[in-house]
Amino acid sequence: MSKTMFDKIWHRHTILSGEDGQCLLYVSRHMVYDSSFHSFEFLKRRGLPVKRPDQTFATADHFVSTLGRKIDAIEDAESRHVVDLLHSNARDRGIPLIGLEDPRQGIIHVIGPELGIAQPGLLLVCADSHISTLGALGALAIGIGHAESTHVLATQTLWQSKPKLMRVTVAGDKPFGVTAKDIALSLVSMIGASGASGHAIEFAGSTIRGLSMEERMTVCNMAIEAGARVGMVAPDETTFAYLDGRPLAPRGAERDRALAYWRTLPSDGDAGFDAEVSVDAEDIAPMVTWGITPGDALPITAAVPDPAAEPDAEARTGVQQALDYMDLAPGTQLTDIVIDRVFIGSCTNGRIEDLRAAARVARRGRAVVPAMVVPGSTPVKRQAEAEGLDRVFIDAGFEWRHSGCSMCVGINGDTGAPGERCASTSNRNYADRQGRGVRTHLMSPAMAAAAALTGRLADVRRLEEGVTE
């Protein structure tokens, strides 16, 4: 019977199926981070060992300081304690640790692909929904809760109900100035922040196949913002080339066997999906958000929506509440919105290609508002410095920092002030996400750099060669 890529991986990892529809799945690899201390404390109270420490990987990213790599750089005592707990728990239980001063350290969803922890056909889990990023390699990467993470630590298994399947086909050539982030924001605005609720998304089509691995990671990362549980892209030659030479990727005869399996993973041509969505890439423009969900996104050439134009009362109320929080008036041109701060980084857009795109724009001027660049990992930071990107940012008035989640989640001290408006490359623009009362506008790295140079939401196409309308 014809199968989707999701089905092939799901069935390969199914140990048993319950009468209630729940399946017990074998977990290939489990990634834990600084917020995982609850799970380790439970194991300690119950006297339980970690079932497969060799297939568990630990790194701190949420609470770490972006001002230094020493643990003493973390000013908040509680945050410092949480990071220290992860380090000690990993060492005590024999879990591979990518510690704070380790040259491989970084955001967990960034180092997973960098190290080759993520590979096609594997089932990976983490108590952070944006593990979906790793689906870009043809893996089944599922975000779980801390209670489920505890179960995985103890048993290397996970109970899950099988989601419905949605295929999102993006076809056509990307217009000038359009990035993977714009594709993702366009999709979320099209189907809504809950449009893929209960589904696993497989991204397909000529546009997706033409993306680099890092661009595919951005798209899969943002699948969660459409309500999906999973985002995936079928592995191909781009995937295989990316994995070659990664520390944990298979080599030699093992690689040959792995490749033979990986090539069987793409969905069969006549496989069925529960839902189909088609996107014409040629219709996408550089996007920014105006509200308080990633679905509140529009092309940069548009204006702030008017609640009165919404025929549905509930939708009308939602738009008005978003505008109240964002302090925006209906009809305001997005390019007239003045910003106070810029954040470039996160597991969505903190990779080397993202920094190159931002630096290309930063070369054209100087930041007129505070702008912070936070690489997604130490390897990304070192590569950027080897290419001279750090000097580009510094010379343009941007602040160059160490890796970490930083302002994306705003729990490490990197936040804006109440009432500030931030142009951000992160994945969420919820109320208070980047600090109490901070108003967040999501966009691509190039668009964020353009905002830094102009002090307002700006159409990056006006700063680079090409058609602007």
Query: pLDDT by residue (tens digit) across 141-170?
Result: 999 999 999 999 999 999 999 999 999 999
Non-local (6+) Cβ contacts of 213 within 8 A are 113, 136, 137, 238, 239, 242
Q: What is the DSSP-derived secondary structure letter of residue 276?
A: E
Please give the mean pLDDT across all residues of the chain.
97
Amino acid residing at 293: T
Position 464 scores a pLDDT of: 83
Strand 297-299 and strand 157-161: the pairing is unpaired
Mean pLDDT computed over 373-399: 98
Burial 7-18 (b: 16+ CB within 10 A, else e): bbbbebbeeeee
% the chain with pLDDT above 90: 97
What distances in angstroms separate CA 274 from CA 21, 165, 400, one per listed residue? 17, 5, 45
Check whether 34 has a pLDDT greater than 80.
yes
| Contact between residue 265 and residue 120 where contact means Cβ atoms under 8 Å apart | yes
Position 24 scores a pLDDT of: 98
Mean pLDDT computed over 210-219: 98
Ordered DSSP codes for 190-248: HH-TTTTTTEEEEEESHHHHTS-HHHHHHHHHHGGGGT-SEEEE---HHHHHHHTT-TT
Give the pLDDT band of residue 362 (cuts 50, 70, 90): very high
CA distance 355 to 423: 15
Position 1 scores a pLDDT of: 85
Position 205 scores a pLDDT of: 98
pLDDT in tens, 103-115: 999 999 999 999 9
CA distance 380 to 283: 32
Check whether 467 has a pLDDT greater than 50.
no
Mean pLDDT computed over 270-284: 97
pLDDT in tens, 398-447: 999 999 999 999 999 999 999 999 999 999 999 999 999 999 999 999 99
Task: Name which of 235, 143, 223, 128 is nearest 183 in CA terms.
Answer: 223
Position 297 scores a pLDDT of: 98
Structural domains in the chain, CATH included, are 7-276 (3.30.499.10), 289-462 (3.30.499.10)
Mean pLDDT computed over 17-39: 95
Six token digits for residue 18: 């319950």
Looking at per-residue pLDDT, the higher value among 214 and 468 belongs to 214
Check whether 82 has a pLDDT greater than 70.
yes
Give the pLDDT band of residue 469 (cuts 50, 70, 90): very low
Position 373 scores a pLDDT of: 98
Mean pLDDT computed over 367-381: 98
| Contact between residue 172 and residue 33 where contact means Cβ atoms under 8 Å apart | no
Mean pLDDT computed over 238-248: 98
Task: Determine the angle formed by the axes of helices 37-46 and 146-155, rounding to 10 degrees.
Answer: 50
Position 21 scores a pLDDT of: 87
Mean pLDDT computed over 319-344: 98
Position 386 scores a pLDDT of: 98
Mean pLDDT computed over 7-29: 96
Position 344 scores a pLDDT of: 98
% the chain with pLDDT above 70: 99
What is the chain's percent helix, strand, coil content, to nearest 5? 40, 20, 40
